[in-house]
A and B are shown apart, each in its own frame.
Chain A
Amino acid sequence: MPVTLFIPTALRGFTERNAELSLEAATVGELISALTQKYPDLRTHLLDEKGELRPFVNVFVGEINIQSRGGFAFPLKDGDVVTLIPAIAGGARG
């Protein structure tokens, strides 16, 4: 099932400048794993040591932020549009 994945500007240096990819995946987890197999250097920026999504990357399927909707288990269907949106954060202390 091909889905369309939009890559944010910040990560296009790892996808040969591609802004839009078409990948086969039945869940968000499969999609991220297809992406990091295609572009291994992205892995360290998308996933932490435990293989979980880093907190600064939001995955939207259409208008839905999957973070509170099952995360990697979130199911995808043919033609879904998935967007990675940076969640910019930081601070002076702790």
Chain B
Amino acid sequence: MIILPLRVESDIRGEARRAYPWECCGLIVGTSSAGVRRAARIVPLNNAREGEERRRRFAIDPLDFARAEREAAREGLEVWGIYHSHPDHPAAPSARDLERALPFYSYVIVAARDGEDRELNSFLLASDRSRMEPEEVWVGEK
């Protein structure tokens, strides 16, 4: 289960609206204990895909990733989530999302239709890599 404080959820949604019609992407940094992941903040990152490809794909530069992970570690936090948007597409993992998924991370996907943010879901890669499994998202304080 992941906990997104209202401000964090609204930051992710804001990124999806701002990037539309392109995909936004970034990291979710926070703490985790006993299977519960709590977000502290997001790290918006540049979509490393080029031009029109950004309408349907995203990529994060490995050096951007490494830098964000070092900064999180300095604050005693960890990168446990990756978010991205699906412009004019449902908030469910695509075949490409599955193909490129890593174990461990919570993959938060937010749909953006006609420039407005819509549903937001989170998924984890199954250990045999066969599928992405939905996980519970709690928005608010807990």
Interface of A toward B, CB cutoff 8 Å:
8-11, 13-14, 44-45, 55-56, 58, 60, 65, 83, 85-94
Q: Can you name 24 A-B residue pairings with CB atoms under 8 Å?
A: A9-B78, A10-B104, A11-B102, A11-B103, A44-B129, A45-B103, A45-B129, A86-B62, A87-B59, A87-B62, A88-B59, A88-B105, A89-B57, A90-B58, A90-B84, A90-B97, A90-B107, A91-B58, A91-B84, A92-B56, A92-B86, A92-B89, A93-B89, A93-B94
Is the beta-carbon distance between A88 and B86 smaller than 8 angstroms?
no
B87 part of interface (Cβ distance < 8 Å): yes
SS of B interface (majority): mixed
Which residues of B line the A interface, CB within 8 A? 23, 25, 49, 56-60, 62-63, 65-66, 69, 78-80, 82, 84, 86-89, 93-94, 96-97, 100-105, 107, 128-129
Contact of B103 among A13, A58, A89 (CB under 8 A): A13
For the complex, what is the distance from the CA of A55 to the CA of B98, rounded to whole Å? 12
Please give, as numbers and ranges, the residues of chain A lying within 8 Å of B87 by CB-CB distance.
92
Q: Closest A residue to B54 by CB, please name it.
A: A91
Residues of B within 8 A of A11 (CB): 102-104
Asked if A9 meets B79 with Cβ closer than 8 Å, knowing A65-B62, A86-B62, A88-B59, the reply is yes
